[in-house]
Structure 1
């Protein structure tokens, strides 16, 4: 669970350190106070995109750290162990530094990490729902994805996608074989001619031929320079080897009198040895050299052939071997090209495999749909929609897809005796917000994440409906940690921890967050229900809201 958040120069926060408790946590505050501050900081620690607006005015960087605790057998514990980031304390620190230049850096348990890694661990830790989530309800794939998510059909749904992909791949291979048949013979003939033409040349190495030709072309100059060098080293009356020997004789008697002279003497000995070896090698090289005009002409002819073939096949002479290998591979593939009839049989096998998996997925989705619709109906009825009714409609697709055999619609009616219609067609904005809220809470019950964040998902509800929403979230908080931004006093009254966000008119302006005690809660709930003027009536109402919390808890 999330245990602590530290914000330094992050947006309106100069330096905030907040402890988060288990259970149901709410954030409230006046409009513009910075209620989204905490969620923005948490999102930054989870690898979401940031910008320079997160850096407090006048600062060069913002620094946020989120601390989580985790169980040894949890998914995040396994992930950390795989990345060699686990900690014996069972604590996880995610840190993000955002610079005013636009760059950012990230750390996981003190080790520099990528944003991709932050996102990966973030998906295991936190699930976020926002007030805009209701728009997802209107997207055609949503009902199908919601059934799969709630019923944990990820594995069979992925099996269908994999089988569909295999079937489509086999179709493409079969078609490629049919297309290739027409040009296969012609291409084989062309490749065989090209390989025959290049075969004599690929037995040779272009670089070796080029180097030997260059050496023969400069034979006279090479021999002249080598002769001069050999004379200077060994043959002349005053040669280098003799001079070095003379130097060594003079230094040797004194080498024992100075460490530095001893080192110089040793270096000179090594140099003498190296020069003697070089002299012998040079003499051997010269003895072996001879000018062969016939060999030079042969090399010149070979180079001309290399260059002619390189021009013909539009490549470099030294790359002709690579071209030859590629043509050989292509020719082998053409000879081994599967018979289209064999591939057609494979297409049918993979098609039947896809159909079997897709039919199984369709059956289990239909079996799960009715009780799920009934459960959704009962939950939504509590939110001032007493005649609400839901059902799922399965329509067979003309062409099967990777998502299955049916198009799934969520049908809804809010009125008794009126047939259910597609949700997008008949639900009002207020109805959509309530339906989205219930579906999100039901989803959250099935999530593996230990922290659920609700960002103003109770917009558009009030009164008794808001109270029921508060109870739903409080009930959910028995199993997971909840962090919720809300404007509804009835929701906030059900919380286990109440955090108040306040803006302070410092220079520049700043926001701070307080944990409220019971008296502070009553004052804040009174403000939320009664506005600016807090009187005895609003205070009594706030106390009653808190009493309802304790009544339902007992």
Structure 2
């Protein structure tokens, strides 16, 4: 049912919005003298259905015109609902059809704010509104209308709607059955491929961030000789040039503090510095001794980084992405096992609907 009609820049009309909602009888009558513009309203609805001659209807001072209609769509209109579902157009009990046409002859059709073809807009409008004229009896010759006439005469619309609902379910289930059978054919091949990928990742026993740590260790091993030389020379200087004089320095400052109380704080600071230098000597010696010098470890690291790089090339840019890929593969493997059960269930539902 038509609830609203909006027209802009068409013929005599600058802007017009008609609201048919809330009229108890559902009957609206337009009256007026010849030339008042009554036929323009019918012409606007005709243009929504894909009618020609749109550019000639545009007001002389305008470059484009707009016709828009809001229809209520109910469950008793399976043809309309079917078209909306088939083309993935969302609806919530209503359908807004809009046509924008320009003076150069171009038109754009929208249904619920989605750009559609003129064929689809025409098919929807044709099922939403019926414009009767003096030649309307010729509809009797249109073969696709015969079933509607027959069902109306036999008062079979309720049964027809129920049949359409069941047939729609049957179509959806049949499509799903075909999809499942295709999956069943490809299942074993897909299972083998996923199992291989999952096994390759799981056997590598990757740890997130492992590659970063290995690169750091590799760079340290490559510089181990230089690191050992610099750390060793630094330790030698502290041990031979500084550490051996610290007891005497500490003793001298203790005597200074005993003779001059104002130097007490300075003596304490020097004493603390001596202890700090001793700690530094120990820490530097431990660092020097801990520097790795095992060339075989460098080979192991390079080999391990090669394995990780190969996994990253195949399954993700980072090890985190590789691990996520493995989780998805595991889930898909589990879903493959459910295909056979779902196939049997869908086949059973189709058999019930066909009975």
Bigger strand share: 1
With a CA cutoff of 8 Å and minimum separation of 6, indicate the structure with the bigger relative contact order. Answer: 1
With normalisation by structure 2, the TM-score equals: 0.45
With normalisation by structure 1, the TM-score equals: 0.32
| Structure with larger Rg | 2
